[in-house]
Amino acid sequence: MFAERVRRAGEPPLSPGTLPAPSLTPGQGLWLLAAAAVTLAPHTAYFPPWLSGLCTLLLGWRAWLSWQRQPPPHRLLLLALTLASAVGVRYAFGHFFGKDPGVALLALLLCLKLLEIRRARDIRSAVLLCFFMQLAIFFEDQSLPVAALAVCGTWLAIVALLALADPNAGHRAQLRTGALLLGHGMPFMLMLFLLFPRVQGPLWGLPADAASARSGLSDTMSPGSISDLGESPEIAFRAEFTGPLPEPAARYWRGPVLTQFDGRTWRTSSSPESATPSYTPAGRRFDYRMTLEPHNQRWLLALDFPGPAAAALRFSSANQALLPRALQSRSRFELSAWPDTPTGLHESTVVLAAALTLPDGYNPRSRELAARLTAGGGSDAAVLERVIAHLRGSDLTYTLRPPLLGRHSVDEFLFDVRRGFCEHFASAFTVLMRAAGVPARVVAGYQGGEVNPIDGNLVVRQSDAHAWTEVWLAGRGWVRVDPTALAAPQRIAAGLAAALPEGEALPLMMRQDLGWLRDLRHRWDALSNAWNQRVLGYNPDRQRELLARLGFARTDWTMLVGLLSGITVALLGALLAWASWQRRARDPLERNWQAFCSRMARAGHPRAPWEGPMDYGLRLAAALPQQADALLEITTTYARLRYGAARERADIRALKRQMDELELR
């Protein structure tokens, strides 16, 4: 249908010698402009500002020309503009070869193309450029809104082609036809999506994407480094538990373990890795599936404490689960956690010695305090109890906006400002423990998470980033102590928002009073998670699973190609059958009449194209006197049904019967 329409319109009748008037009708201009705008809109997030501005200006110019019914600008002007924008792109990106300058150039060319449209061919190439740009956005972003925008853009571009083919059709009809054509393409798209041989890794992931910086935990911690993340609503990972969820106080997702302290910054120290953990998992077990957003690090952020898993994991001697290489794309892991597992029962003396070192010349008041607290003697556990009791009694405030600290950061936090975020608490507590002679280390990671009521997944955001302390006690191994809980027990039990003091400004999404907004965010999260899992996460393994479930065990490419072509033929056949059924179903009366006329034509009495039914009937009756009555009856009935006021289905059936009963001799 579409091809037919396009062919019918063809090129506008322009003689080559004359300078043609602007052949863009307002309707065509509108659709093209809309298609280009919708296509370029998501790109602007990745363009340098001057480029977005230039594109907007050019599109605005096009709109103004259409509005004023002005001819397109002079070719020389456009040539100069094209050269200038090419120079701009070269200057901004430093080179022409690569994805980013290529996409930028194409965007500019699309805008300029719209300005030089003079004939049908130009419209077609602009639409093709639109299609290309809709693909190009997936290099940058494959989220649901971008995909939806791309579908809208494709729709508008198709409507622009329809407006070219039939400029006089109504806008609504064109939109409907465009949607119908898109609908025709849907089954083919689904089939190709499901069956086209998949490549490992994200289809659009280019090497350039991988190196880009991402926010998240780092392998160092200094005052302020985690509270920076505190306001970020970005999702770090999602966890889908197959059984019950662990209680909030057990939701510690382990990140880097920080043992080296230089007086201000905590760092990881290199620790040997092995294929199995150094502990034996014991106690309660929780199974879950984790969808980890790419963070360009090796750590898995598994729930304490992970056991052996299907994925090829490594375990550091500090009990951290690691991936073989840094995570560059969103990935899923099937994991289990044993939160009650004792760890480090037989820790090496080297590790314990490292967990006791403090740099000299920092935090003298804290060391003095530690000395006072250990003066009473007793076991490490007793010292631990005394330090905890002291901290609990020293009126520390938990805040998302801690004041800046100077050289002796722990001293200032404990004795002067008394306000801090989790890293202050963890750092201070660890320093105190070390000063008191108890091995201790800082663990960074995430704590808590929010259960999405829509799909039941636990969503952990960057704002859930946390730091806590592990203390080594003889006979008990590493014991987790969360000093933040001493000042703000709500942080562990109910999350960051509940733990912050009254009056502290919260990021919009964390406000407890905006229930509808949170609900909206939950729904959106569930939707994008489904999109990530089902669409973006459709990898070769899942394709194999699907095909196996459909009964195709052998999944090499010949099988896929065979399946693809088979289904394509079947779909095309179904579409054709549907189209012909539509035509037939349109008017049974007309169908019967056409059949009758064809039959009479085969009998040697064709109906003249202009001949009315009654005249035809009279002529037939004169030619075939034996059937004259029946023929007149048929033609009269048809004329009455077609041109009369009332038309009953039964009448049409009766007419059909009459026609069937007619015998020609």
Partner 1 sequence: MPDRHADRLLEAAARIILGKERELRLAFACLIARGHLLVEDLPGVGKTTLAHVFARLLGLQFQRIQFTSDLLPADIVGVSVFDRETSLFRFHPGPLFAQLILADEINRATPKTQSALLEAMEERQVTADGRTLTLPTPFFVIATQNPANQIGTFPLPESQLDRFLMRIHLGYPGRAAERALLMGEDRRRLLERQNPVLSIDELRALQHAAQDVTVADALIDYVQALLAATRADTALAAGLSPRAGLALIAAARAWALIEGRDHVLPEDVQTVFPHVAGHRLHLAGDARGLPPASLQRLLQSVALR
Nearer to partner 1, 191 or 639 (CB): 639
Closest CA to 470 of 460, 483, 459, 458: 483
Q: Contact between 311 and partner 1 (CB under 8 A)?
A: no
Q: Contact between 649 and partner 1 (CB under 8 A)?
A: no
| 416 carries an active-site annotation | no
C-beta of 634: minimal distance to partner 1 in Å?
A: 15
| 597 carries an active-site annotation | no
Nearer to partner 1, 141 or 615 (CB): 615
Q: Contact between 504 and partner 1 (CB under 8 A)?
A: no
Please identify which residue in 119, 198, 267, 640 interacts with partner 1, judged by CB under 8 A: 640
Q: Site for partner 1 (CB under 8 A): how many residues?
A: 14
C-beta of 45: minimal distance to partner 1 in Å?
A: 52
String of DSSP letters for 575-592: HHHHHHHHHHHH-HHHHH
What is the DSSP code (8-state) at residue 1? -
Both structure tokens of 600? 């009479």
Q: Contact between 392 and partner 1 (CB under 8 A)?
A: no
Q: Contact between 644 and partner 1 (CB under 8 A)?
A: yes
Q: Contact between 196 and partner 1 (CB under 8 A)?
A: no
Instruction: Characterize the bridge pairing of strands 331-337 and 397-398.
Output: unpaired
The window from 231-239, 497-505, 520-528, 639-647 that contacts partner 1 (CB under 8 A) reads 639-647
String of DSSP letters for 98-126: SHHHHHHHHHHHHHHHHHT--SHHHHHHH
Nearer to partner 1, 426 or 589 (CB): 589
String of DSSP letters for 472-522: EETTTEEEEE-THHHH-HHHHHH-HHHHSPTT----GGG-SS-HHHHHHHH
| 466 carries an active-site annotation | yes
The window from 73-81, 256-264, 555-563, 613-621 that contacts partner 1 (CB under 8 A) reads 613-621
C-beta of 606: minimal distance to partner 1 in Å?
A: 13
Rounded Cα gap, residues 620 and 533, in angstroms? 69
Nearer to partner 1, 557 or 610 (CB): 610
The window from 377-385, 444-452, 562-570, 635-643 that contacts partner 1 (CB under 8 A) reads 635-643
Q: Contact between 323 and partner 1 (CB under 8 A)?
A: no
Rounded Cα gap, residues 544 and 547, in angstroms? 5
Please identify which residue in 645, 649, 650, 665 interacts with partner 1, judged by CB under 8 A: 645
Rounded Cα gap, residues 228 and 234, in angstroms? 12
Nearer to partner 1, 553 or 645 (CB): 645
Q: Contact between 632 and partner 1 (CB under 8 A)?
A: no
CA distances from 294 to 218, 301, 328 (A): 13, 12, 5
Active-site annotation holder among 55, 422, 464, 525: 422
Return the C-alpha torsion angle 177, 178, 180, 186, nearest 10: 170
Nearer to partner 1, 516 or 610 (CB): 610
Binding mask 566-605 for partner 1 (x = CB under 8 A): ----------------------------------------
Binding mask 447-466 for partner 1 (x = CB under 8 A): --------------------
Please identify which residue in 375, 404, 608, 650 interacts with partner 1, judged by CB under 8 A: 608
Sheet order of strands, 440-447 included: 220-221, 266-268, 252-261, 440-447, 465-473, 477-481
The window from 68-76, 178-186, 211-219, 607-615 that contacts partner 1 (CB under 8 A) reads 607-615
Q: Contact between 171 and partner 1 (CB under 8 A)?
A: no
Nearer to partner 1, 473 or 618 (CB): 618
Closest CA to 364 of 420, 320, 415, 426: 415
In sign, the C-alpha dihedral spanning 79, 81, 85, 91 is positive
Closest CA to 338 of 252, 260, 270, 467: 252
Active-site annotation holder among 43, 424, 466, 522: 466
Q: Contact between 642 and partner 1 (CB under 8 A)?
A: yes
End-to-end CA distance of the chain: 41
331 in helix, strand or coil? Answer: strand
Please identify which residue in 9, 417, 506, 614 interacts with partner 1, judged by CB under 8 A: 614
Please identify which residue in 21, 612, 629, 653 interacts with partner 1, judged by CB under 8 A: 612
Q: How buried is 588 (Cβ within 10 angstroms: 0-12 exposed, 13-18 middle, 19+ buried)?
A: middle
Active-site annotation holder among 55, 482, 522, 525: 482
Q: Contact between 13 and partner 1 (CB under 8 A)?
A: no
Nearer to partner 1, 421 or 638 (CB): 638
Q: Assess contact for 496 and 400: CB atoms under 8 A.
A: yes
C-beta of 633: minimal distance to partner 1 in Å?
A: 16
Both structure tokens of 492? 């562990």
The length of the chain is: 665
The window from 89-97, 282-290, 364-372, 636-644 that contacts partner 1 (CB under 8 A) reads 636-644
Rounded Cα gap, residues 39 and 106, in angstroms? 12
Nearer to partner 1, 565 or 636 (CB): 636
Please identify which residue in 91, 97, 557, 610 interacts with partner 1, judged by CB under 8 A: 610
Estimate the share of the chain in helix, then strand, then coil, as percent rounded to the nearest 5.
55, 10, 35
Nearer to partner 1, 393 or 609 (CB): 609
410 in helix, strand or coil? Answer: helix
Tell me the β-bridge partners of 450.
Answer: 459
What is the DSSP code (8-state) at residue 346? T
Please identify which residue in 231, 240, 615, 633 interacts with partner 1, judged by CB under 8 A: 615
Binding site for partner 1 (CB under 8 A): 608-615, 639-640, 642-645
Residues noted as catalytic = 422, 466, 482
